[in-house]
C-alpha cells in the first residue's frame, strides 16, 4: 500500500442505461480520467466505476461525466458515493468495455430499468426497520470472503465464490422461502449486484427488496444523521481497492489483503490478480 500526503477521495458509481456505442464512450472516459486512478466498465447495459484522485480532479471528472456531449446526458444526475482515503486506492486507471457491467451468468437478464416491475429499492433510512421484521430473510449478495470480514447482523451467507454462482443458490432455496412466507431483503457493497439480481428473483415468484446504494450508502446515511450503523453491522466492509476495508464511519481500517485471504487457498488468485493489475506505486 502507498500512503499519501495529499488527500485523495474515492468515488464509486454505476448506472444501468442503454448505451449504443460503449467503445466510443470508453474512449472519451480515458481522455477524461488521466489524472485519476481506478476501474471503469462500460457495456451496452450501462456503466460501473470506482475511481479516486485529488478532490479537484475528481470533481472535474464527475462534472464532465454528467455534461460531456459524447455521453448525451446518459449519466446526468448519477449518484456518486464518496469516501476519504488514507491510502491511495489505485495506481492505474483502467477503462474497459464488456458485455455486462456485472456478470450474472443467466442469459437475458439485464439491470436496465423496467417500469412494469415492482420497485424493489429500500432507502437506507427504511432498511433498519425492514430487516427487523420477523418474516424477512436478510440475504448477503456478496462473496463469502466479503461476508466473513463483515455483514449485517443476522444475515445469511449464500457461500458463493463468484457472483455468477448466486442464481443457483437462490434457485435452490426459492421454494422453501415461498413456503415459509419469507420476504427477502438483499444487500451488496454498492448496490449493483442487487440491481442485476432483484428483477430475476421477482420472476422466480419471490418478494424481494434491495438496499438502495448498498452498504456504503447505508454507512453514509447513518453517519449523516448522527446514527451508529454498528447497531446493525458487525465487522468491516471489504472494498475492491488498496484500502482493503472500511468501517461504519467510512474510515480505512488496518486490515490487509493478506489477512482477508489468509487460510483461503481458493481465493489466493484474487490477491495475485490485484497486485498484477494495480501494482504498488
Give burial (CB, 10 Å; 0-12/13-18/19+) of 113.
Answer: middle
The per-residue pLDDT for range 5-32, each reduced to its tens digit, is 468 899 999 999 999 999 999 999 999 9
Whole-angstrom Cα Rg for the chain: 19
113 located within any domain: no
Assess whether 250 and 172 both reside in one domain: yes
Among 53, 47, 38, 54, CA closest to 93? 38
Q: What is the pLDDT of residue 115?
A: 81
Instruction: Give the position of cell 444523521.
Output: 225
In angstroms, the CA 212 to CA 229 distance is 15
112 located within any domain: no
239 located within any domain: yes
Written as nine digits, the cell of 220 is 453514509
244 located within any domain: yes
Helices (H), the chain: 22-32, 55-67, 124-131, 144-149, 166-179, 192-203, 214-224, 257-261, 268-277
What is the domain count for the chain?
A: 2
Assess whether 83 and 168 both reside in one domain: no
115 located within any domain: no
**Is 79 designated active site?**
no
Assess whether 72 and 147 both reside in one domain: no
Please identify which of the residues 79, 85, 188, 194 carries the catalytic annotation: 188
Assess whether 131 and 253 both reside in one domain: yes
Q: Which domain CATH number covers 143?
A: 3.40.250.10
142 located within any domain: yes
Q: Which domain CATH number covers 81?
A: 3.30.70.100
| Range of the structural domain that residue 182 is part of | 121-277
Assess whether 69 and 185 both reside in one domain: no
In angstroms, the CA 180 to CA 99 distance is 37
111 located within any domain: no
pTM higher than 0.75 for the full model?
A: yes
31 located within any domain: yes
The per-residue pLDDT for range 44-73, each reduced to its tens digit, is 999 999 999 999 999 999 999 999 999 999
Assess whether 68 and 193 both reside in one domain: no
Per-residue pLDDT of the chain (281 residues; tens, 9 = 90+): 444 446 889 999 999 999 999 999 999 999 999 999 999 999 999 999 999 999 999 999 999 999 999 999 999 999 999 988 888 899 899 999 999 998 887 888 888 888 888 899 999 999 999 999 999 999 999 999 999 999 999 999 999 988 889 999 999 999 999 999 999 999 999 999 999 899 899 999 999 999 999 999 999 999 999 998 999 999 999 998 989 999 999 999 999 888 887 766 666 666 676 565 455 55
Instruction: Give the E-state strand segments of 20-156 in sequence order.
Output: 37-43, 46-54, 81-87, 93-97, 121-122, 136-140, 150-152
Amino acid at each position: 500500500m502507498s500512503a499519501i500526503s495529499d488527500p485523495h477521495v474515492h468515488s464509486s458509481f454505476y448506472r444501468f442505461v442503454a448505451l449504443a456505442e460503449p467503445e466510443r464512450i470508453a474512449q472519451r472516459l480515458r481522455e477524461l480520467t488521466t489524472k485519476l486512478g481506478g476501474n471503469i466498465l462500460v457495456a451496452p447495459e450501462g456503466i460501473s466505476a470506482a475511481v479516486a484522485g485529488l478532490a479537484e480532479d475528481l470533481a472535474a471528472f464527475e462534472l464532465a461525466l454528467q455534461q460531456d456531449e459524447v455521453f448525451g446526458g446518459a449519466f446526468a444526475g448519477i449518484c456518486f458515493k464518496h469516501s476519504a482515503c488514507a491510502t491511495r486506492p489505485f495506481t492505474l486507471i483502467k477503462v474497459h468495455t464488456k458485455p455486462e457491467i456485472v456478470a450474472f451468468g443467466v442469459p437475458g437478464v439485464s439491470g436496465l430499468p423496467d417500469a412494469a416491475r415492482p420497485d424493489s429499492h429500500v432507502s437506507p433510512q427504511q432498511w433498519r426497520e425492514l430487516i427487523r421484521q420477523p418474516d424477512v430473510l436478510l440475504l448477503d449478495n456478496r462473496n463469502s470472503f466479503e461476508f466473513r470480514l463483515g455483514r449485517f447482523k443476522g444475515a445469511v451467507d449464500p457461500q458463493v465464490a463468484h457472483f455468477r454462482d448466486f442464481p443457483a443458490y437462490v434457485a435452490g432455496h426459492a421454494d422453501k422461502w415461498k413456503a415459509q412466507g419469507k420476504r427477502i431483503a438483499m444487500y451488496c457493497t454498492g448496490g449493483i449486484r442487487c440491481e442485476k439480481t432483484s428483477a430475476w428473483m421477482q420472476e422466480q415468484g419471490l418478494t424481494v427488496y434491495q438496499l438502495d446504494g448498498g452498504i456504503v450508502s447505508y454507512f453514509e446515511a447513518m453517519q449523516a444523521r448522527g446514527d451508529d450503523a454498528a447497531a446493525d453491522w458487525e465487522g468491516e466492509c471489504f472494498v475492491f481497492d488498496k484500502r482493503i476495508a472500511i468501517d461504519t464511519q467510512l474510515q480505512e481500517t488496518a486490515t490487509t489483503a493478506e489477512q482477508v485471504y489468509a487460510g483461503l487457498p481458493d481465493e489466493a488468485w484474487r490477491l495475485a490478480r490485484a497486485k498484477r493489475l494495480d501494482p504498488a506505486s
